[in-house]
């Protein structure tokens, strides 16, 4: 879609939602790469201007946007009830969909694109990078609180908007299929990386087996627990709200924890070419663990607590496998900037797995002693 077409459809979408006031304008907003996001402004009768978030959903990434919206509507509705019962400001402390004029929760425009709208969360910011360790801690509190607030929600009733997203045994199966096919003849040059994964063949089953045995509960999980998916108060930088609920699905709490550790406690960038720079920052691991457990408010089971280090290693190994699989298949999924970009990413993740294995006892002690 061209920029001109997008702008035309944006105005069409604006007319479909139950916004309050007189429409002024809608400008591109935020740093997301998946959806097209606009800040739409409306003049109010008292002379003030009220902002809303308007988004065109990427239905190439999310093939069933109606299911995605249903997940968001049900989860945010549950959160809103919990917040209101606790005397909190539900307009600010959870995402709130704006209904369409026809009563629905999304609008499909004349060329088949899907749109949605949210109340704007005022006096809050999202950060793309940590400039102070306390920000990492506050994001941990936010994602832990997300678990605490959704405790009691039957996660099995949600749609899997991306099937098998964190089914690590299935990711291993896809990896082996890519090795066997070797479509581009790249397997020989990555023999060490293939051997690294195969040496850990049993590990990907750990969490799925724990769930199958009834030890690891299914929960509502965010599945994209990065810093910029938390709104922080612009004054004191305490957490206000978790945002970007597109990947909210049934999952394991330890994977949400683990994905934050994977990128947040790594001393190097995800595509650092010098793997000697890749280390697990145990201080940041401890800080995040403390914040996450504080936010969870005692809602995690003893098994979930004990498996937090496993979640960190699982998400790191899974991500590395995905990069390696994509490299073997010709870089068709992840966007790359140069021919070996996915291989570099893979090696960085595997270096972090080695770091976790080397510090495993320390990670377990940190979790055991966290309050």
Per-residue confidence (pLDDT) for residue 129, from 0 to 100: 82
Domain for residue 228, yes or no? yes
Domain boundary among 122, 142, 170: 122
pTM of the model: 0.93
- Whether residue 347 sits in one domain with residue 239: yes
Task: Identify which of 214, 315, 299, 219 has the alpha carbon closest to the alpha carbon of residue 259.
Answer: 315
- Whether residue 142 sits in one domain with residue 111: no
Angstrom distance (rounded) from CA 112 to CA 119: 24
Domain for residue 42, yes or no? yes
Per-residue confidence (pLDDT) for residue 32, from 0 to 100: 63
- Whether residue 102 sits in one domain with residue 163: no
Per-residue confidence (pLDDT) for residue 293, from 0 to 100: 98
- Give the count of alpha carbons within 13 A of 24, CB side only: 15
- Whether residue 212 sits in one domain with residue 335: yes
Per-residue confidence (pLDDT) for residue 236, from 0 to 100: 93
Domain boundary among 67, 98, 122: 122
**Domain range for 42:** 3-122
Domain for residue 127, yes or no? no
**pLDDT digit string (tens) for 220-229?**
999 999 999 9
Angle 176-178-179 (CA atoms, 0-180°, nearest 5)?
A: 65
Mean pLDDT, range 281-296, rounded to an integer: 97
Domain for residue 48, yes or no? yes
- Whether residue 141 sits in one domain with residue 94: no
Angstrom distance (rounded) from CA 349 to CA 316: 6
Residues in the chain: 371
- Whether residue 27 sits in one domain with residue 145: no
User: What confidence tier does 269 reach under pLDDT thresholds 50, 70, 90?
Assistant: very high
User: What confidence tier does 112 reach under pLDDT thresholds 50, 70, 90?
Assistant: confident
Q: For the domain that residue 292 is a member of, what is the CATH number?
A: 3.90.1200.10
Per-residue confidence (pLDDT) for residue 2, from 0 to 100: 60
Residue 90 has pLDDT above 90, yes or no: yes
**H/E run at residue 188:** none
**pLDDT digit string (tens) for 181-234?**
999 999 999 999 999 999 999 999 999 999 999 999 999 999 999 999 999 999
Per-residue confidence (pLDDT) for residue 281, from 0 to 100: 96
- Whether residue 286 sits in one domain with residue 165: yes
- Whether residue 185 sits in one domain with residue 77: no
Per-residue confidence (pLDDT) for residue 30, from 0 to 100: 74
Number of domains in the chain: 2
Domain for residue 128, yes or no? no
Domain boundary among 60, 91, 122: 122
Query: Is 1 in contact with 113 (CB distance < 8 Å)?
Result: yes
**pLDDT digit string (tens) for 134-167?**
999 999 999 999 999 999 999 999 999 989 999 9
Give residues with Cβ within 8 angstroms of 84, minimum separation 6.
90
Task: Identify which of 289, 286, 327 has the alpha carbon closest to the alpha carbon of residue 308.
Answer: 289
Q: For the domain that residue 40 is a member of, what is the CATH number?
A: 3.30.200.20
């Amino acid at each position: 879609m061209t920029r001109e077409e997008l702008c035309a459809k944006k105005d069409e979408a604006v007319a479909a939602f139950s916004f309050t006031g007189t429409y002024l304008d809608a400008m591109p907003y935020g740093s997301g790469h998946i959806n097209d996001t606009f800040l739409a402004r409306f003049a109010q009768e008292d002379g003030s201007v009220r902002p809303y978030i308007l988004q065109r959903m990427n239905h190439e990434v999310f093939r069933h946007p109606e299911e995605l919206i249903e997940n968001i509507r049900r989860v945010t509705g549950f959160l809103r009830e919990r917040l209101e019962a606790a005397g909190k400001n539900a307009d600010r402390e959870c995402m709130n969909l704006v209904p369409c004029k026809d009563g629905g929760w999304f609008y499909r425009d004349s060329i088949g694109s899907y749109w949605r709208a949210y109340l704007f969360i005022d006096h809050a910011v999202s950060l793309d990078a940590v400039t102070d360790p306390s920000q990492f801690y506050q994001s941990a509190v936010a994602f832990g609180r997300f678990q605490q607030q959704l405790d009691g929600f039957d996660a099995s009733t949600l749609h899997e908007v991306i099937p098998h997203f964190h089914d690590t045994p299935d990711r291993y199966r896809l990896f082996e299929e890519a090795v066997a096919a070797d479509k581009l003849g790249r397997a020989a040059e990555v023999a060490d990386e293939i051997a690294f994964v195969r040496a850990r063949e049993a590990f990907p089953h750990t969490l799925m087996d724990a769930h199958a045995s009834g030890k690891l509960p299914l929960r509502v999980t965010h599945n994209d627990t990065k810093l910029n998916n938390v709104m922080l108060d612009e004054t004191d930088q305490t957490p206000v709200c978790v945002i970007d609920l597109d990947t909210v699905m049934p999952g394991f709490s330890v994977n949400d924890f683990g994905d934050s550790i994977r990128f947040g406690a790594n001393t190097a960038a995800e595509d650092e070419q010098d793997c000697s720079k890749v280390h697990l920052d145990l201080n940041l691991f401890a800080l995040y663990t403390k914040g996450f457990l504080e936010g969870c408010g005692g809602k995690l089971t003893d098994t979930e607590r004990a498996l937090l280090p496993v979640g960190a290693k699982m998400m790191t190994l899974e991500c590395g496998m995905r990069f390696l699989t994509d490299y073997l298949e010709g870089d068709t999924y992840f966007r790359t900037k140069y021919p070996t970009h996915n291989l570099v990413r893979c090696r960085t993740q595997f270096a972090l797995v080695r770091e976790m294995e080397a510090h495993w006892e320390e990670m377990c002690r940190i979790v055991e002693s966290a309050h």
